[in-house]
Structure 1
Amino acid sequence: MNATTPKVMLLIDADNVSADVMEQAVHKVLAEHGALHVRRAYCTAEVALKHQSLFKRLSVRPMVNLAAGKNSTDIALAVDALDLAIAERPQVVYLVSSDSDFAPLVIRLREKGCRVCGIGQQGKTGEETVGAYDAFTDLEHHGSRPAAAAAPAPARKTRARPATKTAAAKTAPAAKKTAAKTAARKTAAARQPNPPSEAAEFILQALPALRTGKEVALNDAAQALRAAGLLGKHGSSLKLFDKLTDEFAVLQHPDRIRWTGATAA
């Protein structure tokens, strides 16, 4: 790394700002410093799925928070920020959020020798939030333009013709075949298992063996979840699966986990 290039860290509160503000923030920091060494976005599983293409395009690592409760994502970001400040020793830290709750984190990072800059979404940031940082930038949320609704085509008038006996005879077998196919599709759909929830989908991506119906040792599952960023260093995989009892079964002697959705596949 060039000695003149500071080590820069960007941490995004993805539950708090819009997708285009996140993208603007990444480009702004890259334009200002020329490099961005740590790029992480903290969010729920639902938000991670919604923005997964954006995160891939920007090379941002999503840190998925499956814990329930108010401010759980903010706490995960704050804990990780201090760990990274000690391990990576960045010169500059950017926090992308309009939330005033990060003021104590800003002070602590500054005490660690970091210059702490904030990036927020215009219209959501209060004065008390701006004052906590060494520098703060408000970015405008551009939103997305709704597609113009297509004008309905004028109805064409057609003259009804009386059906002949020959046409009726040809139509009847075709109608029966169509009805039979429709019934078969409905039966097949009824037999299909319910799709996994968004939180379960992240777990299945980290543990693909579960999707095939195999049972995975709880210790192996915990290691895979930590490697995927779904579980903290000291987090309990058992507590995580206890929140998803409708989709995962915890088996004992020896301890292992099974995805219940695979039984109907």
Structure 2
Amino acid sequence: MESESRLAVLIDGDNIPSAYVKEMMEEIAKYGNPTIKRIYGDWTKPFLSKWKNLLLENAITPIQQYGYTSGKNSTDSAMIIDAMDILYSGKVDGFCLVSSDSDFTRLATRLREAGMKVYGIGEKKTPEPFIVACDKFIYIEILANRAKESESSTTPDKPAKKPPVDKITPKVIRLIASTISDLADDDGWAFLGDVGSLLQKKQPNFDSRNYGFEKLTPLIDSIGKFEIDLRDSKQGKFKLIYVRNKKR
């Protein structure tokens, strides 16, 4: 099971905000057990001070990396070297690379070539090459939205501000429609679990939460171009969800 996977979490402290580290670690726990947690940066620099209290709370080990040369990112090099050491140690089943830096594209590709699952976490400004090099990529903005929703629920006196979400564009609809067609049986129906998995393979940053939906089913239902069918499982204990494109 995915939840039993051992993960190495490597955080680029130079370009990841510390504000949502709690939500980030909760997200990572969905995909496996983070047995190694390290953050890289030059801890003599004032801008990393916000991380310091959070490291103890989340059992993240800080790795000191001095900037020996102006203009060169030594943090990236340290992360890459450590990742390869961890890979060859055989102690993990996958990696979570937390960065918005495209310099980790080749690392993600190399880890996947070695049979590792690679999860990426970064801001929406993350370049496309790094995103597609991962098996799955999660935007920090999603985690920030979750934190804001939690805060608004605990402060009912304040009017809740709806977190900004991405628009469901015709391109997104075409992606979902083509994925359903790829998996459809003779009657056009496809199992939703398979649809979600293939969407992830086609577009690693595809996430229903980007569009304001916690799950894929309500996202697809909101579009109005797809049919949804609930079927009993063979054991009859739960429902299986199937979807198909509406006929024109």
Q: Alpha-carbon deviation of 1:7?
A: 1.2
Cα pair 1:16 1:97 within 8 Å, conserved: yes
Residue number in structure 2 paired with 1:10: 9
8 Å CA contact 1:98, 1:126 repeated in 2 = yes
Quick one: distance in 2 between partners of 1:3 and 1:105?
22
4+ aligned runs moved over 4 Å, structure 1? 141-145
CA contact (8 A) 1:94 1:116 kept: yes
Specify the alignment match of 1:61 in structure 2.
Answer: 61
Aligned-residue offset at 1:3: 11
Aligned to 1:135: 136
User: Conserved in 2, the CA contact under 8 Å of 1:96 and 1:119?
Assistant: yes
Which amino acid counterpart does residue 38 of structure 1 have in structure 2?
I
Q: 1:39 corresponds to which residue?
A: 37
Partners in 2 of 1:11 and 1:36 — Cα distance?
10
Name the CA distance, whole Å, in 1 between partners of 2:112 and 2:31.
Answer: 20
Q: Note if contact 1:98-1:120 (Cα within 8 Å) is conserved in structure 2.
A: yes
2:58 corresponds to which letter in structure 1?
L
Gaps of 5+ in 2: 149-248
Distance 2:97 2:114 in 1: 15
Equivalent position of 1:79 in the other structure: 81
CA contact 1:42–1:76 (8 Å) conserved in 2: yes
Unaligned runs of 5+ in 1: 146-265
What TM-score comes out, normalization by structure 1 length? 0.49
Distance in 2 (alpha carbons) for counterparts of 1:142 and 1:5: 26
Deviation for aligned residue 1:84: 0.8
Aligned residues of 2:67 and 2:73 also touching (Cα < 8 A):
no
Shift of 1:4: 7.2
SS at match of 1:80: helix
- Quote the sequence identity (%): 31
The structure whose Rg is larger is 1
**Matches of 1:104 and 1:3 in 2, distance apart?**
24
Q: What is the distance in 1 between the residues matched to 2:48 and 2:127?
A: 26
Q: Secondary structure at the match of 1:131?
A: helix
SS at match of 1:51: helix
2:21 alignment counterpart: 22
Q: Count the aligned residue pairs.
A: 142
Instruction: Indicate how the Cα distance of structure 1 residues 32 and 72 shifts in structure 2: closer, same or farther if over 3 A, else same.
Output: same
Aligned-partner SS, 1:20: coil
Q: CA deviation at 1:68?
A: 2.2
Relative to structure 1, is the Cα distance of residues 126 and 67 closer, same or farther in structure 2, using a 3 angstrom cutoff?
Answer: closer
One-letter amino acid of the structure 1 residue matched with residue 40 of structure 2: Y
Once residues 20 and 2 of structure 2 are traced to their aligned partners in structure 1, the CA distance between those partners, rounded to angstroms, is: 30
CA distance in 2, matches of 1:20, 1:49: 12
CA RMSD of aligned residues (A): 2.6
Q: Report the secondary structure of 2:34's partner residue.
A: coil
